[in-house]
Amino acid sequence: MGNAGLQIADDATTQTRMAAVSRRSFLRWTAVSAGLLTVSRLRLAPPAAATSAGCARVLTPSQAEILTVVVERMVYSGSPEMPAVRDTAAIATIDQALLQLDAPTQSQVGWLITLFEWGPPVFQFKLRRFTTLSAEEQDAYLRDWATSRVETRRIAFQALKNLSVLGYYAQDATWKGIHYDGPWVPRPRRVVRPEC
């Protein structure tokens, strides 16, 4: 199935959406830490919320907010030397990375984030979204994906984790806490940073 397999009707159920994505294409996008259709088209995302991704270009504000909560649970910022995710440019860094993926993959990312947000009723029989669960419930939900018998869910967990650690541990502010010296070369240097 080519990219046409990713065209999903607005009123499809979550399960139908997953089935519409071939295992192969699902696996391919997770290879680059990616996901599916635009959230705006699905109209499933929560209202836009404050986000640290001020200059997001691939992620919508609502996707950025969901992803912020995912990153907060994936990494641990409870130690005094580690910054809170919202005090960093983690989401903007992720967005910049996503910008460099092809368009179908970019849209798949949004679908993954949305699926993850709206998954608790399907996967845990909880009538709430991921972002409205308590921290403990969010961790249990993540663990459920990480250890799922369904391979695609485990891969999706790893994709979200890879995005999370990319965003967080690329931040200078996190390096002191792990005793990493950072680059030798001073800034500013020429930075090749593809733009839209």
Partner 1 sequence: MITKGEQIDADLRLQAEVCVIGTGAGGAVVAKELAEAGRDVVVLEQGGYYTKDDFTQREDEMMPLLYEDMGQRMTVDQTIGIMQGRNVGGSTVHNLCYCFRTPAPILEKWQREDGLRDMSYAQMVPSFERVEQMLKVKEILPHEINTLNHKVREGCEKLGYHGLVARHNREGCTTSGFCLLGCPFDAKQSMLITYVPAAANAGARIYADCPVTRIHAANGRVRSVEGVVVDALRRPRHRVHVEAQVVVLAAGAINSPQILLNSDIANSSGQVGRNLHLHPSILLAGIYDEDIYGYRGVPQSYYVDEFINLEKNPDSGYILMPVYGFPVATASQVPGFGRAHWEVMRNYHRMVGLLVLMHDQSAGAVRVDSSGKPAITYHVNRKEQQLFVEGMKHCAEILFASGATQVMVPYAELLMLKPSDDLGIIDRRGAREGDIPIASTHPQSTCKMGEDPSRSVVNSWCRSHDLGNLFICDMSVFPSSLGAPPQISTAAIADRTAHYIRDHWAQLV
CA distance linking residue 58 with residue 38, whole number of Å: 10
Could you tell me which stretch among 8-16, 44-52, 73-81, 113-121 binds partner 1 (CB under 8 A)? 73-81
How many residues touch partner 1 under the rule CB under 8 A: the total is 60
Interaction mask 18-47, partner 1, x per CB under 8 A: ------x--xx-xxxx--------------
Q: Which of 40, 43, 87, 139 is in the footprint of partner 1 by CB under 8 A?
A: 139
Closest to 95 (Cα-Cα) out of 125, 128, 51, 137: 51
CA distance linking residue 85 with residue 83, whole number of Å: 6
Burial of 137 per CB tally in 10 Å (0-12, 13-18, 19+): middle
Could you tell me which stretch among 36-44, 46-54, 71-79, 115-123 binds partner 1 (CB under 8 A)? 71-79
DSSP string, 105-128: HHHHHHHHHHHHHT-HHHHT--SS
Three-state secondary-structure class, residue 87: helix
Q: What residues make contact with partner 1 under the rule CB under 8 A?
A: 1-3, 24, 27-28, 30-33, 73-76, 78-79, 82, 93, 96-97, 99-102, 139, 142, 146-147, 151, 154-155, 158, 161-162, 164-166, 168-170, 174-175, 177-185, 187, 189-196
